Structure 1
């Protein structure tokens, strides 16, 4: 298996502010997402990924997001088995929100 690509929240924010269109999937649970999501991200809880593969783009960059980076990394490993390459946002929403403050 190839290593999973990673992106830091600061780099993702920089690219979004520069106007890049980036496909993002937030794998947190409903109650976590209710506290805020990155604008433009699609919400698919981690446990629903296997049944919603058709909603995940299999070309171009797809960035996976969770609370701290662990669940999104698991999602990347799972998707890799189906030939879907994705990038994990390290530090997750904890780091994203920390940088925003």
Structure 2
């Protein structure tokens, strides 16, 4: 009986350790993305994004179904999963305004664009989920 109790406690200790490790990984990943975003792109609030997007290219990185359901007016869809194929359609001589549902995909793409020589890269800080500007589509 005592061996069973020790085994039960050991299992809970392992579960706790795994849960803490997963939590630390998630927090670390978010901090890394935040750092990368600030290093290679400018994070913009909705108002700043809205003011500058008229002189640049607005790229929606969400999948086609989400894009069709509603997107920022003037944006074109280059889903994250197809970015390698469609990247050539983004001009280097114009500012690039990126957004996704949150911010993590935009940050990853900003790093790739920066490595490929793009200079003016802007990210919608809180993603489409918190966008308060004009929307085109069913949303």
Normalising by structure 2, we get a TM-score of: 0.61
Matches for 1:1-101 after TM superposition, within 5 Å: 3=39, 4-13=41-50, 15=51, 20-85=54-119, 86-96=121-131, 99=132
Q: Matched residues in 2 for 1:59 and 1:6: separation?
A: 20
Structure 1, gaps ≥5 residues long: none
Report which structure shows greater RCO (CA 8 Å, sep ≥6). Answer: 1
Q: Matched residues in 2 for 1:65 and 1:24: separation?
A: 8
Normalising by structure 1, we get a TM-score of: 0.81
Shift of 1:54: 1.4
Partner of 2:31: none
RMSD of aligned residue pairs (Cα, Å): 2.1
After TM superposition, where is structure 1 displaced by more than 2 Å over at least 4 residues in a row?
19-22
Q: Matched residues in 1 for 2:65 and 2:122: separation?
A: 24
Shift of 1:20: 3.4
Structure 2, gaps ≥5 residues long: 1-35, 134-139
Q: Matched residues in 1 for 2:123 and 2:49: separation?
A: 11
Deviations 1:45-84 (A, max 9, x none): 0121111121011122110110011111111111111112
